[in-house]
Each structure stands twice: as structure tokens, then as C-alpha cells.
A = this chain, B = another copy of it.
Amino acid sequence: MIAKSKYKTKQREILLDYLKTVPGKHFTAGDICEYFRSQGASIGQSTVYRQLEELVNEGVINKYVLDPTGPACFEYMAEDDHCEGEVCFHCKCEKCGKLIHMHCDELIEIQQHLSAEHQFKLDPMRTVFYGLCEECSEK
């Protein structure tokens, strides 16, 4: 599952360096391109897309499906958020867009339930719970 890229290129390095500065934040491929363009340290957009895909496969970043019309959303997973044995769930507020990280045993039960009763192996890295956060639901 974790397949490291074979070469360590400069583009990959500066991309990773940047990603480490925005843990837990969401960004699109376009955001990345624009950022590097503004920095003068440009990386070709194909490379951005290819590296992001690579990093998703390696489990370094996650890809979220937020809106089929708009661009895909990525998120860098910080080391301490990587949860070795722990499973990490995400809730996204449909109104304010806030992303909530969640480590909860009860949610792990869902995983087991889906597996035992429905023969479905849930992938917590890709699954996002949509709804309203506390603040937005109060309004």
C-alpha cells in the first residue's frame, strides 16, 4: 500500500516542504500551482497533479471528494495526526466548510459493524461525514 517514489527530485522536496507548513488545511491542485507561481519557484502543473497522486498513494496526504463540480481537495496529514493504530475520521460542515478531526471509539464500531454485517471494508481515510457543525446548526 505504501509505495515510495523512486526518485527524490527537487520538485517533490519543495512540494513536501510546503505541505508540512499547512497541516490539516485543505488545498486544491490549483492552490498549489498558484502558490508556487507566486513564489517564483514554479512547478509544472502536471507535476503537481502527479506528485499529489503519488502522495495520496503513499498515504502522506488525503484526497477528499467535496464537490464534483469543483476541484478535488487535498490535506496533508501531520505526523501526530497520522494515528498509527488509531483511526481518524473527518466531519465537514456543509455551511462554513470547517473540517473536524475525530478520534472516537464509537466510530470505530461503525467500521466493525459495516465489516461484520454488511461485508463492507470502510476506508476512513477517504470517508467524510457531511453535515452541520455546532455553530452552524445553532443558527
Contacts and interface: CB of A to CB of B under 8 A. Distances in A.
Contacts of A133: 119-120
Contacts of A77: none
Interface residues on A, range: 35 or more
Interface stretch (A18-26, A34-42, A79-87, A105-113): A105-113
A137 B119 contact: yes
Taking each of A110, A121, A132, which has the highest tally of chain B beta carbons within 10 Å of its own beta carbon? A121
A126 to B, nearest CB: 4
Contacts of A110: 106-107, 110
A100 interface: yes
A68 B74 CA distance: 12
Contacts of A72: 68-69
A15 interface: no
A111 to B, nearest CB: 9
B104 A129 contact: no
30 contacts: A65-B65, A65-B66, A65-B67, A66-B68, A67-B68, A68-B68, A68-B70, A68-B71, A91-B118, A94-B126, A100-B120, A102-B118, A104-B117, A107-B110, A107-B113, A110-B110, A114-B129, A114-B131, A119-B133, A120-B133, A121-B131, A121-B132, A122-B130, A122-B131, A123-B130, A126-B130, A126-B131, A127-B127, A127-B129, A127-B131
